[in-house]
Amino acid sequence: MPIGTQNKPLQTVMWEAGKVRLIDQTALPEKLQYVEYTDWRDVAEAIRTMVVRGAPAIGCAAALGLALGARGIIADGRESFLRRVTGIADTFRAARPTAVNLFWAIDRVLAAAAETEGNPVDLKDAMLVEALLMLDEDIETNRRLGQYGAALLPDPVNVLTHCNAGALATVGYGTALGVVRAAVEAGKKVHVYADETRPRLQGMKLTAWELARDQIPVTVIADSMAASLMRQGKIDCVIVGADRIAANGDTANKIGTYGLAVLAQHHNIPFYVAAPLSTIDTKLASGLQIPIEQRDTVEMTHIEGIRIAPEGVDVINPAFDVTPGELITGFITEKGVLQPPFGSEASVPALPSEGQEETEAKETVTA
């Protein structure tokens, strides 16, 4: 069944009439509602509180938020403007520590300002244009990586995914779920197992919701059920997103990803990371250097505002873990299925011509 026969494709991050408009992901799956921001500080807070989440979506929301903040600056001149823009950028950078796309996006919008000649009005325009370009690029990137990934999948296929690396984690279409969508569009029969992803249940609340909305078959499981399904031969491959990828391929992603990678290796199941190149942090030699966000333990002790844990018991809540690059079968990017080490731009292969795409994707993985 074609995608979107009943529903418009989701767009998670938008610019509308001078406002940043986001899908409120804390309201899903009960209701699909949008929130609009006219104050950049509220956009930063929306990132912190996970109204918007997912590395690429965070990046684009921050880019738009920074452009929004810039528009509000009343500055005497160019230097004063740039100084104040940098202050806003720092607030966005502090919103969440792990996903590198946030820093990448902020840097790109700042560079657009710095590289533009003229007065603050010109710089504001350049920043917004750059942010909007990034939104368009994000969807295009996901469609491209989706095609590379889809070529890797058998038909029929049972895909296990963790957390949400879907339309809701990006501007649209998704990374891991972009691969799923592209496979469905290519006519493959795809069934997804979605780990519920404690503590915040993004797999149950977001991944299952957005796949069901697109009529893609999905079954929600507790995180602890994945191993048993693998042993029963019910999982053909694992595809996850990423929050930051080090030069050696070590990958930070939602807590629980590392365990899945170990389990996949034990069961000889391919384990793919689907992410745009902007998620690769070539400055980091290994995953040891990736900062891991520790979130409020109330996410563990309470669900829907109700306490589920005994009072006074110690709880931890690391939001991410790091999967060693050697456990990852391939990195599905907009430039093909890559292998570490990831160095400078030069080491990234050139875009293949149309006819070569599928072949290259397959070769890279069987290599």
Q: Which residues bind to its own copies, rule: CB under 8 A?
A: 29, 162, 195-199, 201, 204-205, 208-209, 212, 217-228, 231, 255-256, 258-259, 262-263, 265-266, 300, 303-304, 306, 308-318, 321-322
Closest approach of its own copies to the CB of residue 328, in Å: 15
Closest approach of its own copies to the CB of residue 138, in Å: 25
In the set 195, 214, 223, 243, the catalytic residue is 243
**How is residue 100 written in tokens?**
């590198």
Closest approach of its own copies to the CB of residue 235, in Å: 12
* Sign of the torsion angle spanned by Cα atoms 340, 344, 347, 350: positive
Note if 122 is an active site residue: no
Closest approach of its own copies to the CB of residue 259, in Å: 3
Question: Residue 41 in contact with residue 25, Cβ under 8 Å?
Answer: no
Closest approach of its own copies to the CB of residue 211, in Å: 8
Nearer to its own copies among residue 130 and residue 210 (C-beta): 210
User: What is the C-alpha separation between 106 and 93, in angstroms, rounded?
Assistant: 8
Identity of the amino acid at 96: R
User: What is the C-alpha separation between 214 and 211, in angstroms, rounded?
Assistant: 5
Nearer to its own copies among residue 186 and residue 225 (C-beta): 225
**How is residue 237 written in tokens?**
């491959």
Task: Collect all residues with Cβ–Cβ distance below 8 Å to 305 and sequence separation of at least 6.
Answer: none
The closest of 128, 92, 134, 103 to 113, measured between CA atoms, is 128
Nearer to its own copies among residue 151 and residue 261 (C-beta): 261
| DSSP symbol at 9 | P
Nearer to its own copies among residue 116 and residue 265 (C-beta): 265
Helix (H, G, I), strand (E, B) or coil at 293: coil
269 bridge partner residues: none
Nearer to its own copies among residue 111 and residue 298 (C-beta): 298
Per-residue b or e along 64-91, where b marks 16 or more CB atoms closer than 10 Å to that residue's CB: bbbbbbbbebebeebeebbebbeebbeb
Per-residue b or e along 133-147, where b marks 16 or more CB atoms closer than 10 Å to that residue's CB: ebbebbbebbbbbbb
- Active site positions, annotated: 243
